[in-house]
Amino acid sequence: MLDVRKLIMLRAVAAEGSIAAAARELRYTRSAVSQQLSALESEAGAALVDRVGNRITLTPAGITLVEHTERILVELRAAEATLAGDDLEVSGLLRVGVPFGEGPRIMSKALTEVRRRFPRIEIRLVATTDSTGAGEVSRGMLDMAIISRFGVARGRHTEGLREWVLSHDPLRLCVPSSHPLADLELCSAADLVDEAWIMLPSSPLGQLTTTLCAMAGFEPQVAATVNDVGTAIGLVGIGWGITIAPEFTPADSKLRIARIPMSNLDTVRHSVLIVRDGEHLSPRIAAAIAAVRAVSAVRRAAPEPD
């Protein structure tokens, strides 16, 4: 019978692309991972990896085995969660990944309720990003994550993960309330040629903004670049420039910001909750999922004012 621990090593090598990277991820030595891979190939009776220099790719047999591994791990996690459900006192560490400019407002009320019901749960908030959150959950670095997707609610299917779409909000042009455009009911990109921009160049939102300006025939004049949409909104509020952000992105109540619909911009931001399949049955994770979804449902019905 194949050893699950060796299968996990093969899965890590497939995800990381090299034995050295997989060893770091699993906290093993490189030689230990290499030896276990060789042993797994002997047990399977087939070559599972192709070694080319320091890079490794999976053979067709290796790909098939990793696909089975994902399903095996889902069942094992579900079994562990079922056993944990027999314990009347829910406890343990809950690691929650959030993009810190947006996540805490969604998560804080939900996790406060989890803490009230299950005071022995330790909650750890961990900074993550839209591009890394799903991978961190898949590798077991986080128990759950909440991320944003622009345009498409569902990402590429990842074996071993479960997702719930929590909310949808359109993108808006954000300007100071004293700005000449603040009273417009609709704005076009062509109206923004001479404006100073707060940009998020490394994010899908920043890339979308750059594309929108290019389609209008100009390159945005950048006043500042930031990594977080909440920070961008804050800089708009103190008059540094304008930005494009999801409508429900919170802002400091002291800041006066106008959010204006834009023509030719119908992209929607989707907030998505991600957990590992099987672990969603764990009492602490199931409680958190239910609370986050309930808070998000209330928020959709009656969005909080800035």
Highest mean pLDDT among 5-19, 25-39, 183-197, 264-278: 183-197
Give the strand pairing for 243-246 and 92-98: unpaired
Q: Is 168 left (phi over 0), alpha (psi -120 to 50) or beta?
A: beta
Structure tokens, 248: 């429900």
For residue 299, pLDDT beyond 70: no
What Cα–Cα distance (Å) separates residue 250 from each residue in 70, 152, 237, 290? 37, 22, 12, 23
Q: Go through 12-46 and write b for each residue having 16 or more CB atoms within 10 A of its CB, e for each that does not.
A: bbbebebbbbbbebbebeeeebbebbeebbeebee
* Whether the predicted pLDDT of 76 surpasses 60: yes
SS3 130: coil
What are the start-end ranges of the H helices in 155-246? 204-215, 229-237
pLDDT average, residue stretch 161-185: 91
pLDDT tier at 240, thresholds 50, 70, 90: very high
Are the CB atoms for 91 and 118 separated by under 8 Å? yes
Pairing assessment for the beta strands 144-150 and 121-127 based on DSSP bridges: unpaired
Q: Is pLDDT above 50 for 9?
A: yes
- Mean pLDDT value across residues 78-99: 72
Note the pLDDT of residue 84. 59
Nearest Cα to Cα of residue 112 among 99, 86, 94, 126:
94
Nearest to 69 by CA among 96, 94, 84, 48: 48
- What pLDDT is stored for residue 306 in this prediction? 45
Record the pTM. Answer: 0.69
CA distances for 164 relative to 32, 95, 271, 274, 293, angstroms: 38, 18, 9, 7, 8
Q: Which residue has the higher pLDDT, 143 or 250?
A: 143
Q: Give whole-number Cα distances, 262 to 145, 174, 188, in Å.
A: 30, 10, 5
Give the chain's mean pLDDT: 83
Using pLDDT thresholds of 50, 70 and 90, give the confidence band for residue 100: low
User: pLDDT digits over 47-61, tens only?
Assistant: 888 877 777 888 888
Task: Give the model's pLDDT for residue 77.
Answer: 67
Calculate Rg over the CA atoms of the chain: 23
Would you state the pLDDT for residue 233? 92
At 120-155, the pLDDT tens digits run 888 898 988 888 899 899 888 899 998 888 887 776
Domains of the chain: 4-84 (1.10.10.10), 89-306 (3.40.190.290)
Do residues 230 and 198 touch, judged by C-beta distance below 8 A? no
Which residue is listed with tokens 């939900």? 110
Instruction: Assess whether pLDDT exceeds 50 at residue 116.
Output: yes
pLDDT at 301: 57
Tell me the H-state helices in the chain: 4-16, 19-26, 30-44, 60-84, 103-117, 133-138, 204-215, 229-237, 283-301
177-203 pLDDT tens trace? 999 999 999 999 999 999 999 999 888
Q: Which of 200, 242, 243, 195 is nearest to 221 (CA)?
A: 195
Handedness of CA 295, 296, 301, 305 (dihedral sign): positive
